[in-house]
Amino acid sequence: MEVTPLLWDAAGLLQGIFNYCQGVRENQQLALRVHGRLQDLFSELERHERRGVQLSSDVLGKYMGLLKDFEQFLHRHQRKNVVCRIIMHRKTCERIQVFHEDIDQFFRLFTLSLGAELVDFKQQDAAWKAQFERDVVEQRALYIKLASDSATLLRELNTAQKKREALTVWDLARKDVSSESNIVIDRAYNTLLRYSQGINVQAPESWFIHEAQVDLDEFPIGAGAFGEVFLGYFEEHTRVAVKRLPKADERMRRDFRKEIHTWWGINHHQFVLRMYGACDVSELPFIVCEYAPHGSLDNFLLADSHSIRQLWRLLYEAAQGIAFLHSKKVVHGDIKCNNILVGTGNHARIADFGMSFTRTNSASVSKTQSQTGAVRWKAPECIDGEYPTFASDWFSFGMSVLEAASGRVPWAGVADDSIVRDNVRLGKLPPRPRDLPDDAWDLVVAMCKKEPGDRLLIGLVEPFETHGERIVIHDGYFQASMHHTQVRVDDYDEEYIAYVFRCDWKPRDGTESKTWFVPHRFSVFNRLHKDLKKRIPPSLTKLPDFPRKHRISGMFGLKMGDSEEIVEERKMALGSYMVQVLAICASLQDGRTVPELDGFLNVTREVKKHLLHRMTLDIGQEYGSP
């Protein structure tokens, strides 16, 4: 009877496994024993099939699974350097023992499927445990010999950086393993130390991960200025993405450590990509971070038409991630849709905010090239060479909103980057996507003002409200009524108390009523009040001064820790004062546009008409006409 195609495939895998066994050095004998048992199983399967016994697809599938798992294990192990092999020598034995046990389990399934016992094969199978113990003793002797062989160690660790990596990793490992493994690692450490004079070894950081803890896939899934991205497993079970950087000099390594330290310190927000750790001493430094199975936001939206329903939620989550970075004094500097990932549960993750050193230090990308790639998302000041800021991050996020909503990069209709630069410098925006809602476009316009100081900055304010699949994010500075909700806000400078004022208004075109939540920040009101006093001529009006007794360091506001009585008194004093100022602003409108108010009220002109009208009504009803 003819052999099934699956068994032909198995024969090819067995040959590949044998070849890998020849290359695993100190573990060769252990690996060949597993190969021998897999070969014996193959012979039994082939013999029964030639006799006309119908083998179940379950049996054949599990056998193929055994072969593929063992082949992958050997392939990964073969690529490990001497540093990892010495650290992992006990774990390698344990893993090979598991393969033997998996073969035992398969044998039981095999015999049950045939309804009879394979006595000869079973007797042969029972001997593996005793042989395995003898092989482990032999393997340990080989590793002790390797750890004492300075010539072999120095041949593999032939640069100062490789020696530094080995000493760092072995010194850490010998303090954290069993006494049996410690003998091999300690001997390797001391052997190498004798030949490593002048090599400075520092204690590893809390985020340190060494190569033995990570199994990488063979081929990268992406590459760029930062190096290459691989998928892999951290501690055998956690699927991760690993960014391996180009070769780095000492200055680049210092920058790398600094930014990894920053990332590690803010590694706890639900919308920021998680980092598991990094290695700064390997020849090619690498970072191990959360794997986002759905890829970048732009690809996620293009791949599934249903994902457009989640667009505004994902953008809101991304905005919260950016605001969190800013609250921790971290500027991203490269915000665009391919740096917003979609992780488990279809939630947004801000990525690559710790990679600015690769953008500035990469030898493979010139300044001109790096500017060309991101020019369509850059703020005007960054195009002219200024460093990124919180304000430029929000400009880039505004461009990302357009990118996500349209499915095209900003300025997609303009092929020439130099024309894009000129347009951005002039404060022009890309064309509005046809289906972009009014409030979303207003948000983009507010975030993408030409002048950084005029841009909307989104803070971390809770709670927020959703309208169906749409999340309304607006900002402003004044009350429309005296209904206060106290919240805590994580700002760019400090935590402070804020009051969120609610304003309901109905557009004249008869569409649905809208609710604007207008968070007031005392520090912002201080700045804007001073600016307004300078810009409105005294001949036009005179703004009243805020009561002296409620000032703090010459300004008005609240401090965290103030008593409830002080908070309430100052809140009411400020509320009354704001009503006076707003009444004057409303009276200045007088049917005409006052340009100074455009910077004072951070809302669109159409909303401003309704807002000022509503304020005038509230002021007249509650406080009397001014």
Q: pLDDT-based confidence at 337, cuts 50/70/90?
A: very high
Q: How far is CA 572 from CA 327, 567, 568, 569, 577, in A?
A: 28, 9, 6, 5, 8
**Residue 251, class by beta-carbon neighbours within 10 Å (0-12 exposed, 13-18 middle, 19+ buried)?**
exposed
Q: What is the CATH number of domain 474-626?
A: 3.30.1520.10
- In the prediction, which pLDDT does 585 show? 55
Does the annotation flag 534 for ligand binding? no
**Greater model confidence, 39 or 235:** 39
Span of 17-26, 400-409, 452-461, 581-590 with lowest mean pLDDT: 581-590
Q: Which of 156-165, 483-492, 584-593 has the highest mean pLDDT?
A: 156-165
Residues 6+ apart with CB under 8 A from 92: 27, 30, 77, 85
Residue with token string 């690498």 = 286
Mean pLDDT of the region 527-538 = 53
Q: What is the CATH number of domain 211-290?
A: 3.30.200.20
The total of other beta-carbon atoms located within 10 Å of residue 207's CB is: 20
CATH 3.30.1520.10 residue ranges of the chain are: 474-626
- In the prediction, which pLDDT does 511 show? 46
Averaged pLDDT score across all residues of the chain? 74
**Greater model confidence, 214 or 474:** 214
Q: pLDDT-based confidence at 64, cuts 50/70/90?
A: very high
Mean pLDDT of the region 356-384 = 60
Question: Among positive and negative, which fits the CA dihedral 107, 108, 112, 118?
Answer: positive
- In the prediction, which pLDDT does 53 show? 79
Query: Is the pLDDT at 428 greater than 70, yes or no?
Result: yes
Q: How far is CA 167 from CA 74, 193, 203, 280, 600, in A?
A: 26, 7, 10, 13, 61
| 85 vs 88: CA distance, rounded Å | 5
Q: pLDDT-based confidence at 179, cuts 50/70/90?
A: low
**Greater model confidence, 48 or 613:** 48
- In the prediction, which pLDDT does 544 show? 62
Residues 6+ apart with CB under 8 A from 523: 491, 493, 496, 555, 557
Query: Is the pLDDT at 521 greater than 70, yes or no?
Result: no
Q: pLDDT-based confidence at 487, cuts 50/70/90?
A: very low
**Greater model confidence, 554 or 257:** 257
CATH 1.10.510.10 residue ranges of the chain are: 297-469
- In the prediction, which pLDDT does 555 show? 41
Query: Is the pLDDT at 190 greater than 70, yes or no?
Result: yes
Q: What is the pLDDT of residues 260-312, one digit of tens each?
A: 888 898 888 999 999 999 999 998 899 999 999 999 999 999 887 666 778 88
Query: Is the pLDDT at 359 greater than 60, yes or no?
Result: no
**Greater model confidence, 559 or 454:** 454
Query: Is the pLDDT at 375 greater than 70, yes or no?
Result: yes
Q: Say which CATH superfamily domain 297-469 falls into.
A: Transferase(Phosphotransferase) domain 1 (1.10.510.10)
| 213 vs 222: CA distance, rounded Å | 22
Q: What is the pTM of this model?
A: 0.66
CATH 3.30.200.20 residue ranges of the chain are: 211-290
- In the prediction, which pLDDT does 225 show? 58
